[in-house]
Amino acid sequence: MRRKAKRARRNSRAIPAKHRYAWLYAQPESHTSYETALLKSIVAGHASGGVSKHALMLYSLMANTTPSMRALNYRHGIAVGRSLHQLYAQKRSYALYEEGVDDLVSFFELAGYGRITYHAFPNMIRIGMHDTLHLDLGMNTHLFEAGMIAGFLTASKGQLMQVTERACSSNSADSCEFYSSSSAQDTSEFAVKGAFDAFVEDVSRHVLRAEKQNNPSIANEYYALSSLVLLDNRYFHEIRAIADYLGGRLATELGIESMTPRRMFNTVEKSVELLNMGIAKIKTSSKFDITLQFSTLHSRKEFADLSIAFLHGLLRNAAKDTGMKVKCLIHRNTYSVRLSKSKPIKGVR
């Protein structure tokens, strides 16, 4: 059993050299029709509602955890960028490849990215995003966006274009700056633990702040599009463990264990709302019941699983202290996390 797991892990890392650039020439395959539907809705200006920048950052951090995840995240962006180019190319033809950059930039604006500036030259393209989340995590986080720009440019130029995020608002810069480049995106190891810590501290500050939370701004469709990479079955187990870990870290940061039940419920509701983990309905009867409801776009089982893992982490220690046990239940389309009495473990009061 153990040997099998080890082999699966090893396989997930190996990408044969001969396949390395195959994705550039092949038609995008996975999730294609779903992806196209999401892209179409953003391009048409019909994108729905809004997701907080913190929620987008949470998924982005999880997708940037290891060098191989980062490489996958960049490649996912490339596939989406190519599909986007295909959508625009049906409506108009670009005489010069840099003409398309205007459409690409409008797309990011429609997706909720706010102010964007750009320079398009025959040999170099620079795109600056000024309204991304300003939060110092010590690492550049917008690999998916870099990939999207690279995919779009590659499709419009008909030759390989790489894009690097040279400055990032998650790495003490004023804006995120993307440049076309000849070399591949850097996928080296980052101090992920430090980035997680800084993120959790900021989320905690937002949740505990008395005033109303920040206005959501990212389109639901874009959020769904960028997070599809988390569903890759080579990494899903790890991603779920990371969601659980981050929930636990946030619980410690918030000091959930020492809160009164009412304040704890309120804090859980606010955290779930800020991080777009569904809508939490909490029933405070004899048991502590949390029912999570998901919008249609996020009702895929895997996203619900990630939310449940996160909540599980968030409540685990609080439950331990009261002799309760966290149980996660999925019944039809309702997902619930329930704290219930469990038999005390020997030696633990």
Which sign does the torsion angle of CA 179, 181, 185, 191 carry?
Answer: negative
**Interacting positions 250-279 with Zn ion (CB under 5 A):** none
Nearer to Zn ion, 133 or 268 (CB): 133
Q: Are 271 and 254 in contact (CB under 8 A)?
A: yes
Task: Kindly give, in sequence order, each residue whose CB lies less than 8 Å from that of residue 178, ignoring residues fewer than 6 positions away.
Answer: 125, 126, 127, 128, 129, 142, 145, 146, 149, 163, 164, 165, 166
- Tell the smallest beta-carbon distance from residue 216 to Zn ion (Å): 19
What separation, in Å, do the N-terminal and C-terminal C-alpha atoms of the chain show? Answer: 35
Q: What's the length of the chain?
A: 349
CB of 192 to Zn ion, least distance (A): 16
Q: How far is the CB of 108 from Zn ion (least distance, A)?
A: 12
Q: Closest CB to Zn ion among 42 and 176?
A: 176
Least distance to Zn ion from the beta carbon of 146, Å?
A: 9
With binding defined as CB under 5 A, does residue 70 bind Zn ion?
no
Query: Least distance in Å: CB of 113 to Zn ion?
Result: 11
Please identify, among the stretches 16-24, 38-46, 169-177, 185-193, the one whose residues bind Zn ion according to the rule CB under 5 A.
Answer: 169-177
Asked if 149 interacts with Zn ion (CB under 5 A), we say no
Pick the stretch among 165-173, 184-192, 209-217, 332-340 that binds Zn ion (CB under 5 A): 165-173
Contacts of 175 (CB under 8 A, 6+ apart): 128, 129, 130, 132, 167, 169
Stretch that binds Zn ion, among 20-28, 136-144, 240-248, 261-269 (CB under 5 A): 136-144
Q: Among 21-29, 154-162, 172-180, 203-211, which window interacts with Zn ion (CB under 5 A)?
A: 172-180
Query: Taking CB under 5 A as the rule, does residue 142 contact Zn ion?
Result: yes
Nearest CA among 346, 348, 310, 302 for reference residue 326: 310
Of 335, 329, 338, 326, the closest CA to residue 283 belongs to 338
Q: Taking contact as CB under 5 A, which single stretch among the options 36-44, 135-143, 239-247, 309-317 is the one that binds Zn ion?
A: 135-143
Q: Least Å distance between CB 157 and Zn ion?
A: 23
Q: Is 146 in the site for Zn ion (CB under 5 A)?
A: no
| Residues in contact with 325: Cβ distance below 8 Å, sequence separation at least 6, in sequence order | 319, 339, 340, 341, 342
| Binds Zn ion by CB under 5 A, chosen from 176, 224, 229, 304 | 176
CB of 133 to Zn ion, least distance (A): 9
Which segment (51-59, 140-148, 251-259, 271-279) binds Zn ion by CB under 5 A? 140-148
Which residues have C-beta within 8 Å of that of residue 212, sequence separation ≥ 6?
Answer: none
In the complex, the smallest distance separating the C-beta of residue 143 from Zn ion, rounded to whole angstroms, is 9
- Figure out which of the listed residues 72, 79, 116, 168 binds Zn ion, where binding follows CB under 5 A: 168
Q: List interacting residues with Zn ion (CB under 5 A).
A: 142, 168, 176
